[in-house]
Amino acid sequence: SAVISQKPSRDICQRGTSLTIQCQVDSQVTMMFWYRQQPGQSLTLIATANQGSEATYESGFVIDKFPISRPNLTFSTLTVSNMSPEDSSIYLCSVEDPPGAGALNTEAFFGQGTRLTVV
């Protein structure tokens, strides 16, 4: 199974500033995703980080607010820009690999998350 290192694990930031979250995987993976988990809620997909091209954003999320980099197959960053208290959430990096021959399923692996508080 993939091992994902995500940092920082938590941060408290001033409104109007930006924070960049890093996600490092111990093996090359095809698909990397960024999720947000607001307090008391489930996970919502922000975007797919594509290697060599722009990220693909879900409805309600835009590149100016959440710029993403994916320079190679083991690393990605998510920036939360011009933060407001509404951005206080847990941000999670996730990776999946397509199943190999004969395998029934993929499995999403998650980083330990970044708990962001904006004050």
Partner 1 sequence: GQNIDQPTEMTATEGAIVQINCTYQTSGFNGLFWYQQHAGEAPTFLSYNVLDGLEEKGRFSSFLSRSKGYSYLLLKELQMKDSASYLCAQPRMDSSYKLIFGSGTRLLVRP
Residues near partner 1 (CB under 8 A) are 31, 33, 41-45, 48, 92, 96, 98, 104-113, 115
Q: What gap in Å lies between CA 52 and CA 79, rounded to an integer? A: 18
Nearer to partner 1, 12 or 15 (CB): 12
Nearer to partner 1, 61 or 81 (CB): 61
Minimum CB–partner distance for residue 112 and partner 1 (Å): 5
Q: Render the burial of 71-92: b for 16+ CB within 10 Å, e for the rest.
A: eeebbbbbebbebeeebbbbbb
Minimum CB–partner distance for residue 89 and partner 1 (Å): 13
Per-residue tokens: 104: 């029934």
Q: What gap in Å lies between CA 28 and CA 18, rounded to an integer? A: 28
Minimum CB–partner distance for residue 95 and partner 1 (Å): 10
Nearer to partner 1, 5 or 81 (CB): 5
Nearer to partner 1, 16 or 99 (CB): 99
In the block, residue with structure tokens 């060599």? 52
